[in-house]
Amino acid sequence: MEARFSRATSHLLLTHSHTDHCFAMEVFKDTTIVASKKCTGKIKQYIRDLEKPGYRERLATYFKDDPERADAIRTLQLVEPNISVKREHTIGPEGQELLFRVTGGHSPDSANIYSPSERTLCAGDNLLAWYAQVIGNGTRMMEVWREWENLDIDYVIPGHGDVVGKPYITKVRHYFDELLAALQKLKAQQFPLEDVLQHPSLPEYFGKRSQHWIEGGRYHQHQIDLAIKSFYRRVR
Ligand SMILES: [Zn+2]
Ligand SMILES: [Zn+2]
């Protein structure tokens, strides 16, 4: 990236502390690292854990189906972020600001980055384009999607998958609106949680028709099933 743009990287902006989003951060240790307060807390905990005897090996075993990641875990070094953000932090010169916003949702420490001048949103895992959505606090995620729908956005960089446009946010939010309406009706009838996944009134997740869904079918289906159950537990 530095070779391509002939300039040094100034910042690393972490959207959250899940391992697939921060375990390669040592590459950026010479930059200003920005994270939410909760994300910094998690990284400090990881730094302490990684020093404990046997911890790395146990973690590597957990990823035994992914040898590249397991190998990386044996040597990786995490770095404590320089800036920890409670709600919002502005980066860059006037007119080209990046807004780093802590929202929670996918995880309690989730943040996203919005560039008004580039009309670009970096969503973190609060929006995924390849997979089913990975729901943490579903109600909060729906609020975040609605907030995004009110921003001027041309490009959305999801936590996983290809760059999408703003209509994709609406598509995802719309699916969960329909899902929630269906689940509310079932809850009113006290329909059992064990059978809810099979109920014909549930809307079909649009992602199921995409190529990526078919390639990793079981994993995606598992995530969407978890999402449905998590929403069903919460609805009144
Ligand atoms: Zn994540
Ligand atoms: Zn992720």
39 located within any domain: yes
Q: To the nearest whole percent, how much of the chain has pLDDT over 90?
A: 86
96 located within any domain: no
Q: Give residue 73 CA to ligand 1 midpoint distance, Å.
A: 17
Q: Give residue 16 CA to ligand 1 midpoint distance, Å.
A: 7
Range 49-57, long-range pairs (CB < 8 A, 24+ positions): 50/76, 50/78
DSSP code at position 160:
S
Q: Give residue 236 CA to ligand 1 midpoint distance, Å.
A: 27
Residues whose CB is under 5 A from ligand 2 (ion)?
Answer: 20, 125, 159
Strands 120-124 and 111-115: antiparallel
90 located within any domain: no
**pTM greater than 0.85 (yes/no):** yes
Please check whether residues 56 and 135 belong to one and the same domain. no
Q: Give residue 200 CA to ligand 2 midpoint distance, Å.
A: 30
Alpha helix positions (H), 99-236: 138-149, 166-188, 211-215, 217-234
Q: Which amino acid is at 228?
A: I
Ligand number nearest to the C-alpha of 20: 2
127 located within any domain: yes
17 located within any domain: yes
Q: Give residue 108 CA to ligand 2 midpoint distance, Å.
A: 14
**Number of residues that make up the chain:** 236
**In total, how many domains does the chain have?**
2
* Structural domain range at position 56: 1-85
Q: Give residue 20 CA to ligand 2 midpoint distance, Å.
A: 5
What would the two tokens of residue 147 be? Answer: 């907030």
Q: How confident is the model at residue 225 (pLDDT cuts 50, 70, 90)?
A: very high
Please check whether residues 144 and 219 belong to one and the same domain. yes
Q: What does 112-144 look like in DSSP terms, one character per residue?
A: EEEETTTTEEEEETTS-SSS----SSHHHHHHH
First-to-last C-alpha distance (Å) of the chain: 49
pLDDT in tens, 36-65: 999 999 999 999 999 999 999 999 999 888
Q: To the nearest whole percent, how much of the chain has pLDDT over 70?
A: 100
Please check whether residues 145 and 62 belong to one and the same domain. no
The pLDDT of residue 215 is above 90: no
- The pLDDT value recorded for residue 202 is 97
Nearest 5 degrees, angle CA 90-CA 1-CA 153? 45
Q: Give residue 95 CA to ligand 1 midpoint distance, Å.
A: 30
pLDDT in tens, 100-139: 999 999 999 999 999 999 999 999 999 999 889 999 999 9
User: Which residue carries 């040898």 as its tokens?
Assistant: 67
The pLDDT of residue 92 is above 90: yes
Q: For the residues 175-203, what does the mean pLDDT come to?
A: 96
Ligand number nearest to the C-alpha of 17: 1
Per the CB < 8 A criterion, the answer to whether 80 and 47 are in contact is yes
Please check whether residues 131 and 69 belong to one and the same domain. no
